[in-house]
Structure 1
Amino acid sequence: MMLIEETAIADAALPVDQFKAHLRLGTGFAEGSVQDEVLKGFLRAAIAAIEARTGKVLIVREFFWSLSEWRDPASEILPVAPVVSLNSVTVTDTAGAETVVAAETYRLDQDSQRPLLRPVGARLPTVASGASVKIGFTAGMSFGWGGLPADLGQAVLLLAAHYYEYRDETALGAGCMPFGVTSLIQRYRTVRFGAGVMQ
């Protein structure tokens, strides 16, 4: 299984000026934009970390999800949420020949936690041993920064500021995330049940 981000977040969707205000950086200077690329990098890193922790895509973009087989031929759980639309389903046989599955044979179940690719009939198309399937879809909570829930936007700014302030620190533990960030994103995390454990 492999998730590929087909389109990146556009620079215009990043709240660079808001981040500067959050950091209390000086404004009105001729060199005011000199750090913009660095700030964009920290914002992108913070968004990626929060998306990885919650399983939610913040800014709308396109993805491909590649599988060697269906986990369940009656439905396939997509790896991130919320999914806006299904764009394509393509089966590649063992010889490398691709077959685009007719769009009228499948549908999207837009669950906010576990969106599903479902067949219109009884089963999803057969994927033979050694073959693969690729699902193209569009996912995201908002097309722009202003449409995000306020708590998620604040979490991104807090985490990006943490990365900025501690950019030279090498002693922080793996996966370190400030408490304020974890509390803001907690309600967006997907609840998983397995072996009697809720995560």
Structure 2
Amino acid sequence: MSFPISDWPDVPAALIAEVRAFVRIDHEADDAAIAAFLRSAASLCEDFTGQMLVARPVTDMLPARHAWQKLKRLPVQSITTVEQVAANGIASPLAVADYALEIDSDGIGWIRLHRSDGGSRIRVTYASGLAVDWDELPAGLRQGIVRMAGYFYANRDGVDAGGPPSAVIALWRPYRRMRIV
């Protein structure tokens, strides 16, 4: 359930420098490749933890129901818009009185319609992520991403040193959220 890597926010130079220091290179010639490895490592981290790392906008299409429904991404920071989508694809904003929103203590976003104008779906736009930017990521996640990017860099020529470092899993495991669907 990962996002396309192109949807990631720009990787800061300081994070690229951390990977350079970790793999002990002193030139900037490979910075573009390192940035790509960082995005790939962050995407793997999101898939492993079940949480979005850096906050960014998300749009979910859900059936128009009167029962509570979970939003797909975690942790939800804010829910910004709710629209009814007609069968012909035309969307119209719902009045605040027409739905209820909840973000629980686990960061799960919930929505429930009080009434519907006949549309079969709703489109919910919200922000989801653990941190507002790369610099605010928890230290364990950040260090695991740096190590994974370093592993990708060191093994970019196809020589595998026996698989990703087990330290990466150890750093990410405390943040893992299992979801039963």
TM-score bracket, normalised by the shorter chain, equals 0.7 to 0.9
Q: Distance in 1 between matches of 2:179 and 2:19?
A: 33
Aligned to 1:133: 122
Verify the 8 A CA contact 1:141 1:148 in the aligned structure 2: yes
Aligned to 1:197: none
Q: Distance in 2 between matches of 1:191 and 1:24?
A: 35
Q: CA RMSD in A?
A: 3.3
Q: Distance in 2 between matches of 1:127 and 1:183?
A: 49
> Structure 1: which amino acid aligns with 2:52?
V
Aligned to 1:61: 56
Aligned to 1:91: 84
Correspondence list, 1:1-199, <5 A: 8-12=8-12, 15-26=15-26, 32-67=27-62, 69=63, 73-103=66-96, 105-112=99-106, 115-119=108-112, 123=113, 125-126=115-116, 131-169=120-158, 177-192=164-179
Verify the 8 A CA contact 1:82 1:139 in the aligned structure 2: yes
Name the SS for the 1:62 alignment partner.
Answer: strand
In structure 2, list runs of 5 or more residues that go unmatched. Answer: none
Post-superposition, which runs of at least 4 consecutive aligned residues in structure 1 deviate over 6 A? 1-6, 170-173
Shift of 1:102: 2.5
Verify the 8 A CA contact 1:59 1:143 in the aligned structure 2: yes
Verify the 8 A CA contact 1:7 1:63 in the aligned structure 2: no
In structure 1, list runs of 5 or more residues that go unmatched. Answer: 27-31, 195-199
Verify the 8 A CA contact 1:57 1:81 in the aligned structure 2: yes
Work out the number of aligned pairs and report it.
180
Shift of 1:33: 2.6
> Structure 2: which amino acid aligns with 1:48?
S
> Structure 1: which amino acid aligns with 2:173?
Q
Are the structure 2 counterparts of residues 80 and 178 from structure 1 closer, same or farther at C-alpha, using a change threshold of 3 Å?
farther
Verify the 8 A CA contact 1:82 1:111 in the aligned structure 2: no
> Structure 2: which amino acid aligns with 1:164?
Y
Q: Distance in 2 between matches of 1:76 and 1:5?
A: 27
Are the structure 2 counterparts of residues 110 and 179 from structure 1 closer, same or farther at C-alpha, using a change threshold of 3 Å?
same
> Structure 2: which amino acid aligns with 1:116?
G
Q: Distance in 2 between matches of 1:60 and 1:87?
A: 13
Verify the 8 A CA contact 1:63 1:138 in the aligned structure 2: yes
Are the structure 2 counterparts of residues 153 and 53 from structure 1 closer, same or farther at C-alpha, using a change threshold of 3 Å?
same
Shift of 1:25: 0.8
Verify the 8 A CA contact 1:55 1:79 in the aligned structure 2: no
Per-residue Cα deviation, 1:131-179 (whole angstroms, up to 9, x for no partner): 3322111111112223211111111011111111222328799xx6532
Larger helix proportion, structure 1 or 2? 2
Normalising by structure 2, we get a TM-score of: 0.81
